[in-house]
Chain A
Amino acid sequence: MAPVNITIDGRKLQAQAGQTVYEAAAAAGIEIPILCHHPALPPEGACRVCVVEIEKQRNLQTACTYPVAEGMVISTRSPRVMEARKFALELIVSDHPLDCMTCEATGDCRLQDLAYEYQVRDDVFAGGRQHSWPIDDPNPFIQVDRNKCILCRRCVRACDYINGVEAISIVHRGFDATIAFGMDSTMEDSPCEFCGSCVEVCPVAALWPKQSIGKGRAYQLKQVETVCSYCGVGCKVILHVKDNEIVKVTGADGAANHGFTCVKGRFGYDYVNHADRLRKPLMRRYLVEGGAKPALHQPNNGNGRGEYSRAANPAAEWVEVSWEQALDTVATRLAQTKEAHGGDAFAALCSARCTNEENYLMMKLARQVMQTHNIDHCARL
């Protein structure tokens, strides 16, 4: 692309033809506030918070939509610009609940940050109409609070340009305009796949993960970037952690996923702290107390349905043991197997859900220690 010479706030810069004023400024490290705009989405120009003054232009222009041109001279913080931004924010706040004290997004809200920065007062349009939508949508993942929606259409664009199912749109016009799912129905009744990209980009708490409600403010959470535990796409995700528990998952900017993730990656994390998790090594009583291995299970009335029950043999009961005892028992049994029957009497399955390092160690255990090539995993399954 051809270089274009522009001036922003007195700084002479070279931008690329085709860039917007916002993109050119961002590339030069000059911050223009955005609210409806999101770098991963096509520009909308809905909120007018990013307005800038451009010489020889009668009106202020939205930086997120306006393309740079040769010789353009731009002011991002002139008094006229600052006044216009404040006015735009006052209009938005006039129909936005001021419940920041109990709002989930406090500390992680674009509108809150901008209202503070531009010293917006809440009484400029006092007495005007305010919305009173019932909160929620009957789905397990996403809380919908239309009272907090600022109609920035980030969610509409994310559903169209990130996911592609177009489950979200704006219905009605003017003061009645609101986001809607499918044919103005529930999320579950729409093409929604609950990828949560809409939640990811929502600048306020209009769309919020239900599992995270009451679990901690953004500034109370530790953020750890890692890789999702599900499919082989390898999305990078951020685990938001409080008190040794994952309370939220968001997308990170990985090469495979560029900041977004799917329903399993975003909402399917609660298994990690599930009550069913194994917390102690377990051994059958016969191993602890000596004796022969009992039958572990017996088929139910032989109906072949794959149902089976615990054999009522006390020797087969589980006993919690120390790590020391468990590790020694396993090592002893493996060594005995090898001595008595040779290494090929041992077989190992490694794990498509564990790390490279762990799989390597299992491979080394089979081949070096047990002297067998009997190692495989579910890649075939």
Chain B
Amino acid sequence: MTNTFEDIAQQAKLLFIIGSNTTEQHPIFGMQLRQAVKQRGVPLIVADPRRIPITQFATIHLRHRPGTDTALLNGLMNVLVTEDLYDKEFVAARTEGFEELRDRLAEYTPEYVQEITGVPAEKIRQAARLMAATKPGALMYAMGITQHTSGVGNVMSCANLQMLLGNLGVPGGGVNPLRGQSNVQGACDMGGLPNVYSGYQSIALEASHKKFEAAWGAVPPADKPGLTVVEMMNAAEQGKVRAMYIFGENPMLSDPDINHVRHCLEALDFLVVQDIFMTETAQLADVVLPGASFAEKEGTFTNSERRVQPLRRALDPLGESRPDWEILAEIGARTLALTGQAKAAAEAPHGGWEYLNPAEVLDEIAALTPSYAGIRHGRLAHAPKGLQWPCPGEDHPGTPILHVGKFARGLGKLTPVDWLPPPELPDAEYPLLLTTGRVLWHYHTGTQTRRSGGLSAIAPEGYIEMHAEDAARLDVTTDDMVEVKSRRGQVNVKVEITEKVQPGVVFMTFHFAESAANLLTNASALDPVAKIPGFKVSAVRVTKLSPDGAPAGVCESC
């Protein structure tokens, strides 16, 4: 996020949520946004194909077809430019590339965008005018923007819109991706990505390459980034990747096309999984190492606001399980010795693996990562609000709002983005569009929440949301079992008839292993830059099942 929850909730004059089911997935921030609407009368624009709960509080709900976000955003910007409503001062002083963007936007008239998105042209105009008239406005997005084969283009379009509106670098504004997991921000910050070291220091940059080489004694070549998660799976299938170490992740439910993932993981020579439960992924491992839960260890998490906060140990690890940092440090030291690198590492200032506690690890991170340079356990103990990076020094207070006065790269780059249709759309064979997401009661692959008595009691099983029109055509009603089939796989699941989805669109969550939506999703098409799969759009066919589970009118054994 460029901004903080607090400045958005208290100072934004307008809220624009696109591709985020905020009250279900980020409930506390969702509540704060609801309060901004209720207590301060802030207008709320929600762009979402589904009638998600927060649309009840919306001034305008732009209900576009899944996979048409860029077209919708271009349409809004077309109105800003055509009606001369954009922030000319901001665009002139702080951005570059306006002319190219303007030329590309010309095509995206509200009428043309209506054809693509299904949103009435007049509503697009109304929303754009409201955004221009009510500033600062904050834009929030989540996986509804990113989990597309056009994910990077979608994000750039969000940034384009906020720059045209002059909504960056101010309290109550910003481009604000809401992060889905407790430390997904930190996992990225720490260089858990194939192209960057910690703090987004590019592996290709000579300075960072040399810096980490000097610090650790050795690093891989700078010229070739590693594999992303979906690419790793494919490389495992091809025998190029032979061994994998997976910790605290469950790709056997979270990744697209699970049948394919299983096939890939089973092709490995060696898989080690470190987790707190025997997850669907751990069941495919050769060695399983019992890690510790969040309550059993120390360390830091970084939230969506780039706020680093300390985790404190409340419990002793269960049984013989051990804090994950201890396990990793053991593996690191032993493997280093076995590969004959221990001597070179010992001579480098940060090459060793002897850590007394997580505070020492954070000291090393701070030494090598400019944006975390001022963040230490000792300081966090006396910082009730945590510290927001960039925090380049121990006397630096942290940075609540990014891009104040100047962008990191100097001028903000307006990048024209064309709308591209998703790679797989409904056709005669697979006539419905499946989009996926989550519910309030469960978290990601359900490893934690499905082992919580209350949450499982209130949401025990998966379902497929379907509009009454489609249900009537398929002759199904709420609680009927159906078979959902895509080109990748099939699942059986209960129907829930609802107005949340539009006719032609069905919705499932990926929380439930027994009706795993990701058996259906598509791993073959990825965003060309970020390599994110298009979880939000796949084509499926739904068939009613008879009460004994056989497709009605079809013999299972034939």
Residues of B within 8 A of A270 (CB): 451-454
Question: Does any Cβ of B come within 8 Å of A4's Cβ?
Answer: no
- A304-348 vs B, CB cutoff 8 Å, 1 = contact: the mask equals 111010000000001000010011111111110111110111111
Query: How far in angstroms is the closest Cβ of chain A from B553?
Result: 18
Complexed CA–CA distance, A361 and B322 (Å): 15
Known interface pairs A256-B305, A331-B334; A278-B262 also in contact (CB < 8 Å): no
Q: Tell me whether B31 and A162 are in contact (CB under 8 A).
A: yes
Q: Tell me whether A277 and B332 are in contact (CB under 8 A).
A: no
Residues of A within 8 A of B443 (CB): 230-231, 264, 268
Query: How far in angstroms is the closest Cβ of chain B from A343?
Result: 6
Q: Tell which of B226, B303, B452 touches A372, judged by Cβ atoms closer than 8 Å.
A: B226
Residues of A within 8 A of B519 (CB): 305-306
Query: How far in angstroms is the closest Cβ of chain B from A254?
Result: 7
Q: Tell which of A239, A245, A329, A341 touches B287, judged by Cβ atoms closer than 8 Å.
A: A329
Complexed CA–CA distance, A135 and B232 (Å): 55
Known interface pairs A273-B318, A376-B192; A368-B218 also in contact (CB < 8 Å): yes
Q: Tell me whether A281 and B336 are in contact (CB under 8 A).
A: no
Q: Tell which of B256, B300, B453 touches A356, judged by Cβ atoms closer than 8 Å.
A: B300
- B357-392 vs A, CB cutoff 8 Å, 1 = contact: the mask equals 010011011000000000000000000111000000
Q: Tell me whether B318 and A232 are in contact (CB under 8 A).
A: no
Q: Tell me whether A140 and B454 are in contact (CB under 8 A).
A: yes
Listed stretches A8-16, A26-34, A187-195; interface member: A187-195
Complexed CA–CA distance, A341 and B235 (Å): 13
Listed stretches B166-174, B245-253, B415-423, B427-435; interface member: B245-253
Known interface pairs A276-B278, A279-B318; A356-B243 also in contact (CB < 8 Å): no
Listed stretches A121-129, A149-157, A282-290; interface member: A282-290
Complexed CA–CA distance, A125 and B525 (Å): 75
Query: How far in angstroms is the closest Cβ of chain A from B3?
Result: 12
Q: Which of A268-304 contact B (CB under 8 A)?
A: 268-274, 276-284, 287, 293, 295-297, 304
Q: Tell me whether A352 and B331 are in contact (CB under 8 A).
A: no
Question: Does any Cβ of A come within 8 Å of B220's Cβ?
Answer: yes
- A355-381 vs B, CB cutoff 8 Å, 1 = contact: the mask equals 111111111111111111111111111
Complexed CA–CA distance, A46 and B133 (Å): 42
Question: Does any Cβ of B come within 8 Å of A186's Cβ?
Answer: no
Complexed CA–CA distance, A177 and B55 (Å): 33
Known interface pairs A233-B28, A255-B6, A283-B287; A362-B192 also in contact (CB < 8 Å): yes
Query: How far in angstroms is the closest Cβ of chain B from A373?
Result: 3
Complexed CA–CA distance, A41 and B335 (Å): 56
Question: Does any Cβ of A come within 8 Å of B286's Cβ?
Answer: yes
* Centre residue among A287, A295, A379 by max chain B CB count within 10 A: A379
Tell me the count of chain A residues lying within 8 A, CB to CB, of chain B.
Answer: 127
Query: How far in angstroms is the closest Cβ of chain A from B540?
Result: 14
Q: Tell me whether B295 and A360 are in contact (CB under 8 A).
A: no
Q: Tell which of A295, A347, A361, A369 touches B235, judged by Cβ atoms closer than 8 Å.
A: A347
Complexed CA–CA distance, A210 and B457 (Å): 13
Q: Which of B274-303 contact A (CB under 8 A)?
A: 275-278, 282-284, 286-291, 293-303
Query: How far in angstroms is the closest Cβ of chain B from A300?
Result: 12
Complexed CA–CA distance, A234 and B293 (Å): 16
Listed stretches B401-409, B488-496, B497-505; interface member: B488-496
Complexed CA–CA distance, A293 and B267 (Å): 11
Question: Does any Cβ of B come within 8 Å of A76's Cβ?
Answer: no
Listed stretches A83-91, A167-175, A221-229; interface member: A221-229
Query: How far in angstroms is the closest Cβ of chain A from B407?
Result: 23
Q: Tell me whether B361 and A357 are in contact (CB under 8 A).
A: yes
Complexed CA–CA distance, A141 and B318 (Å): 25
Q: Tell me whether B330 and A327 are in contact (CB under 8 A).
A: yes
Complexed CA–CA distance, A375 and B249 (Å): 13
Residues of B within 8 A of A236 (CB): 309
Question: Does any Cβ of A come within 8 Å of B121's Cβ?
Answer: no
Known interface pairs A297-B266, A323-B320; A232-B490 also in contact (CB < 8 Å): no
Known interface pairs A233-B304, A279-B318; A377-B182 also in contact (CB < 8 Å): no
Known interface pairs A193-B27, A234-B304, A337-B269; A372-B449 also in contact (CB < 8 Å): no
Known interface pairs A350-B192, A373-B194, A377-B184; A233-B35 also in contact (CB < 8 Å): no
Q: Which of A240-268 contact B (CB under 8 A)?
A: 241, 244-246, 253-257, 260-265, 267-268
Complexed CA–CA distance, A274 and B447 (Å): 11
Question: Does any Cβ of A come within 8 Å of B5's Cβ?
Answer: yes
Query: How far in angstroms is the closest Cβ of chain A from B51?
Result: 15
Q: Tell which of A234, A333, A380 touches B228, judged by Cβ atoms closer than 8 Å.
A: A380
Question: Does any Cβ of B come within 8 Å of A101's Cβ?
Answer: no
Query: How far in angstroms is the closest Cβ of chain A from B23?
Result: 8
Query: How far in angstroms is the closest Cβ of chain B from A17?
Result: 21
Residues of B within 8 A of A282 (CB): 287-288
Complexed CA–CA distance, A255 and B31 (Å): 15
Nearest-CB residue, chain B, relative to A270: B452
Q: Tell me whether B339 and A339 are in contact (CB under 8 A).
A: yes
Q: Tell which of B203, B236, B248, B449 touches A351, judged by Cβ atoms closer than 8 Å.
A: B248
Complexed CA–CA distance, A277 and B259 (Å): 26
Q: Tell me whether B303 and A256 are in contact (CB under 8 A).
A: yes
Known interface pairs A226-B314, A244-B316, A360-B361; A211-B179 also in contact (CB < 8 Å): no
Q: Tell me whether A264 and B441 are in contact (CB under 8 A).
A: yes
Known interface pairs A140-B454, A328-B334, A361-B361; A276-B277 also in contact (CB < 8 Å): yes
Complexed CA–CA distance, A355 and B31 (Å): 26
Complexed CA–CA distance, A191 and B373 (Å): 45
Query: How far in angstroms is the closest Cβ of chain A from B525?
Result: 13
Nearest-CB residue, chain A, relative to B23: A193
Q: Tell me whether A226 and B311 are in contact (CB under 8 A).
A: yes
Complexed CA–CA distance, A340 and B198 (Å): 29
Q: Tell me whether A369 and B341 are in contact (CB under 8 A).
A: yes
Q: Tell me whether B187 and A306 are in contact (CB under 8 A).
A: no
Q: Which of B122-149 contact A (CB under 8 A)?
A: 146-147
Query: How far in angstroms is the closest Cβ of chain B from A111?
Result: 27
Q: Tell me whether A234 and B452 are in contact (CB under 8 A).
A: no
Q: Tell me whether B225 and A378 are in contact (CB under 8 A).
A: no
Q: Tell me whether A256 and B28 are in contact (CB under 8 A).
A: yes
Question: Does any Cβ of A come within 8 Å of B543's Cβ?
Answer: no
Nearest-CB residue, chain A, relative to B455: A268
Known interface pairs A233-B29, A363-B198, A379-B187; A354-B248 also in contact (CB < 8 Å): yes
Listed stretches B69-77, B85-93, B111-119, B526-534; interface member: B526-534
Residues of A within 8 A of B34 (CB): 163-165
Q: Which of A186-223 contact B (CB under 8 A)?
A: 188, 193-195, 210-211, 222
Known interface pairs A264-B449, A296-B284, A353-B181; A373-B229 also in contact (CB < 8 Å): no
Q: Tell me whether A351 and B284 are in contact (CB under 8 A).
A: no
Q: Tell me whether A232 and B303 are in contact (CB under 8 A).
A: yes
Q: Tell me whether A377 and B314 are in contact (CB under 8 A).
A: no
* Centre residue among A273, A283, A367, A370 by max chain B CB count within 10 A: A367
Question: Does any Cβ of A come within 8 Å of B325's Cβ?
Answer: yes
* Centre residue among B26, B242, B516 by max chain A CB count within 10 A: B242
User: What 10 pairs between A and B have smallest CB-CB spacing?
Assistant: A279-B319, A234-B303, A351-B248, A355-B299, A373-B226, A232-B179, A262-B27, A331-B334, A164-B34, A140-B454
Which A residues contact B (CB, under 8 angstroms)? 139-141, 160-165, 188, 193-195, 210-211, 222, 224-236, 239, 241, 244-246, 253-257, 260-265, 267-274, 276-284, 287, 293, 295-297, 304-306, 308, 318, 323, 326-335, 337-341, 343-381
Besides the known contacts A195-B31, A257-B28, A263-B440, 6 further A-B residue pairs in the complex with CB atoms under 8 A apart: A229-B293, A241-B314, A271-B293, A281-B289, A283-B288, A378-B254
